[in-house]
Structure 1
């Protein structure tokens, strides 16, 4: 029976110690992760190459074995591919968030209240995107509805605009004045933001959200501009068939660009309340049919952006109990040799509520090389104390597959 390989990617799980010296990984009850690191290898890995931003796009490319320095062309084209949008090399794509801004008269006086518009439902968002499509069409752009607050725009044949954009989760609670689009075609993008607010303010979806005490999706926000990516086929690169399971278009887009099987789970939300059971059952099916399964879980990252410590701890505990534990049991019962890696793509510290660049902890357990007496717990501190350090994020999968020794 062929050996099986599994990655559990806990997006944004790593963090900074609080005043007590504890991180969410310290506080979370995660016996399965801790047991695996006690019988496996842990260390730190640098997932953000020098000169690149600590984005989930860059870091998940690395976690899936690709060197972002060779293949990264922006975040939004990966999301667009996942959404089934046809792209040509000359097309420019942008991520379009539905966000909540404060209600001052002038855009430059407003504050970014919520980068996710209260984690608006996909169904509500689709209605708002439909209302905005004529506006985007006036400027020669196509607007596509995605999942929750995450959407995409495509400008055909335009090439990159040369505009500087700021991710909205980087400025939560801050004035937008210094983070509006700059240079390039910034005036056009700023005008669309202003006009989107006029359209969305009185839309029935937002009226209902306000009346029920929820944040309205009262503006769009652009970021993540890019062009069509070209990734080496995963099976060609590693000689293994692969499946990607995720709620977010970014990660699914990487899978599609790399020729991997991508599973769509309608009940997966990308939050702490995602459908863990459905992801786990799909992962079991994938492992029965292919060599490698990459399970991406967004909950810790979302809670980090929101400054929700309790939610982040809960997300880690649910991943351990509802995903890792049953998948480990499945692999043991299968009779096959197997190897498992667990890691975040980057840190999303609660204190700063955005991504940071420092190396993150990883663990690898291999049923053929299990040890006794490893680290007692899987934390940032124990990973640093191990003395194991990988300079490149893409090396984790090489170790997992047995192509690199540490």
Structure 2
């Protein structure tokens, strides 16, 4: 028996006026998910515990079977694990985003946050900019590490966990009310604008019609996590397939194997087919029992507020990932169970995460059940099934 989770990050949402009151998931053409829906269990699951912020960190811990109220120590420490940072007990990790701020004359505090990802800046461009900052900010007790695209890391030795605001939560807002109180972090953010605004990389980005990565933004502070072994918890040998350091960090912490997929970048044009092939190879050829396939694109498009691109991301998830995985396992004669769901909603109207429960679809190749005509938020609610402790849903997947 093989087990698969396909996670469409932020795939769920709220009704959109220009779609006639449908959500982007409802409006998407998803023939594979809809075919499975007719033979599958659908329901709702609360992946973000009440009282916790609706981050991909807490939500994906839940999806992987780890109660965030027990295991969560911050987002960036999980990312530190993914890039091989050996955090000490008194280290604090901070996510260091490249963002785009408004560039009119005036104080740093009066700028508006325009883009939390600087047009999904390439890792190559971001590394050049990070090196420029590292030269200016070199000081005892602070170390920068390169991640992927706009997502990077600062480790502070002997630091303090601070409450900081994710940049995607304050798009289009004046930043003054959301800046860190810590004087060193604030100084770095302010100076980063002076260093980056006219950096050659950003001059070229403007010429190319792209947002400049003209500031860093710290958030997601936390200390070293301690996840229990996924293999010991479940008896399943697992792989994680994701372009996002957060998910790779969960994998490293849980003893899963993170797989590298060429061209997987966390954006709309990620390598969907490559992720499906990597999962099939792990399950059919390399002796793995469980594959967690994470696709970031629906979430990124939700943050951008793009109805068309979020629908495109969901449709490609259906066509290039779910279709290929289901077909590949079926043709190999493998019995399998597949769980399809988002981690949290990222509604177009909000352009950030919300903490509402998410719709899931659970298909078992050995036994069809009476399902719904399609898979979406409304159909999942009709079932009346609700997992308040979303981290227990994986037990249902693995329970046969």
How far apart are residue 355 of structure 1 and its match? 0.3
The aligned counterpart of 1:145 is: 146
Q: Distance in 1 between matches of 2:334 and 2:171?
A: 46
How far apart are residue 244 of structure 1 and its match? 0.2
Q: Distance in 2 between matches of 1:321 and 1:213?
A: 30
The aligned counterpart of 2:131 is: 130
1:299 and 2:285 equivalent?
Answer: no
Aligned ranges 1:159-170 → 2 under 5 Å = 159=159, 161-170=160-169
Deviates more, 1:90-99 or 1:186-195: 186-195
The aligned counterpart of 1:284 is: 280
How far apart are residue 49 of structure 1 and its match? 0.6
Q: Distance in 2 between matches of 1:390 and 1:360?
A: 10
1:374 and 2:371 equivalent?
Answer: yes
Q: Distance in 1 between matches of 2:373 and 2:60?
A: 27
The aligned counterpart of 1:233 is: 229
The aligned counterpart of 1:393 is: 390
The aligned counterpart of 1:111 is: 112
The aligned counterpart of 1:175 is: 174
The aligned counterpart of 1:82 is: 82
Q: Distance in 2 between matches of 1:259 and 1:125?
A: 29
Q: Distance in 1 between matches of 2:210 and 2:42?
A: 42
Q: Distance in 1 between matches of 2:253 and 2:203?
A: 39
Structure 2: gaps (5+ residues) = none
1:64-96 CA distances to partner (integer Å, 9 max, x unpaired)? Answer: 111111110000011111111111121110000
Deviates more, 1:73-82 or 1:84-93: 84-93
The aligned counterpart of 1:99 is: 99
- In structure 1, which of residues 199, 205, 208 is the aligned counterpart of residue 204 of structure 2? 208
CA RMSD of aligned residues (A): 1.1
Structure 1: gaps (5+ residues) = none
CA contact (8 A) 2:123 2:148 kept: yes
Q: Distance in 2 between matches of 1:94 and 1:334?
A: 44
CA contact (8 A) 2:76 2:94 kept: yes
Q: Distance in 2 between matches of 1:254 and 1:276?
A: 21
Instruction: Tell me the SS of whatever aligns to 2:258.
Output: strand
- In structure 1, which of residues 6, 9, 32 is the aligned counterpart of residue 7 of structure 2? 9
CA contact (8 A) 1:245 1:264 kept: yes
Q: Distance in 2 between matches of 1:269 and 1:135?
A: 28
1:314 and 2:312 equivalent?
Answer: yes
- In structure 2, which of residues 241, 247, 250 is the aligned counterpart of residue 245 of structure 1? 241
Instruction: Tell me the SS of whatever aligns to 2:390.
Output: coil
With the length of structure 1 as denominator, give the TM-score of the two structures: 0.95
How far apart are residue 139 of structure 1 and its match? 5.9
The aligned counterpart of 1:47 is: 47
- In structure 2, which of residues 317, 324, 327 is the aligned counterpart of residue 326 of structure 1? 324
How far apart are residue 126 of structure 1 and its match? 0.5
How far apart are residue 211 of structure 1 and its match? 1.8
Q: Distance in 2 between matches of 1:234 and 1:140?
A: 33
Q: Distance in 1 between matches of 2:47 and 2:161?
A: 26
With the length of structure 2 as denominator, give the TM-score of the two structures: 0.97
CA contact (8 A) 1:44 1:359 kept: yes
CA contact (8 A) 2:262 2:274 kept: no
1:299-348 CA distances to partner (integer Å, 9 max, x unpaired)? Answer: 10000000001000000000000010011011111222110000000000
How far apart are residue 105 of structure 1 and its match? 2.4
